Amino acid sequence: MRKPMRRLLVINPNTSASVTEKIETLVKEETNNQILVETVTADFGFSYISSRTATAIAAHAVLDAAARAIAEKTTPDAILLACFGDPGREALEEMTGLPVIGFAEAGLLAASELSSQSLVMTNGAIWCDMLWELILKLGISDRIAGVHSIENVANDPALIARYVSSEAEKAGVDRVILGGAGLIPYLPEVIAQASVCVIDPHRIAIQKAVALANAHEPATSEQDHSLTDGKMNIKGLSPLLTAALKGA
């Protein structure tokens, strides 16, 4: 008997529908119809996440989006958190009991397994600090030469390729991890034109999410993911998120 196709929930933590479209296009291209994909966009927050405040709000929005998607559709087998910074990843995993893969963590861990150091680059100076904190948390700082921003470079693949190549040469490495959902459309050309190896963490994360979805064993009805003991009051959250936190 043929097994039903596994499901992947993809969440864009910012409120930009155009970014969601770019993410969905990449996911469907990478998965090649081998998995059922549902892509959702955060209902509230920032259209571009570029501060710690925006990141904190995005983490809440991610939980809310997951609760809504799971309540309205069949529970997925894995969740892809489509932001190179992974806001709310651990909380989302705790709330749902599902494998949750983030663009940043997946890309960084893959790079850490390679034979030499890599340079991480993204669009936004604040992300440099937050990504370095993630690198320290993952215990891979010896594998990463630094985190640099490309925010002062125009959205032109040739200019981005030249800049990342120059920064890699200055850092003494021959590999760059270039992440950020907004950069997805430019990455194929950047990879083709750069004089150093450019790793696409988004594709790595998608592949990992699909593998975990295919390996996932759906929860039985007896498993309880409630985060309350029945005595806690929850105020001000959406009804669906409140229900999810109570294990409904």
pLDDT tens string 209-232: 999 999 988 765 545 555 655 557
**Per-residue b or e along 108-123, where b marks 16 or more CB atoms closer than 10 Å to that residue's CB:** bbbbbeeeebbbbbbb
* Residue 8, pLDDT score: 97
* Size of the chain, expressed as the number of residues it contains: 248
pLDDT exceeds 80 at position 91: yes
Least confident of 110-114, 187-191, 196-200, 224-228: 224-228
Confidence of residue 5 (pLDDT cuts 50, 70, 90): confident
For 113-162, write each residue's pLDDT tens digit.
998 999 999 998 999 999 999 999 999 999 999 999 999 999 899 999 99
At 227 the pLDDT is: 61
Position 1 pLDDT exceeds 90 = no
101, 212 contact by CB (below 8 A): yes
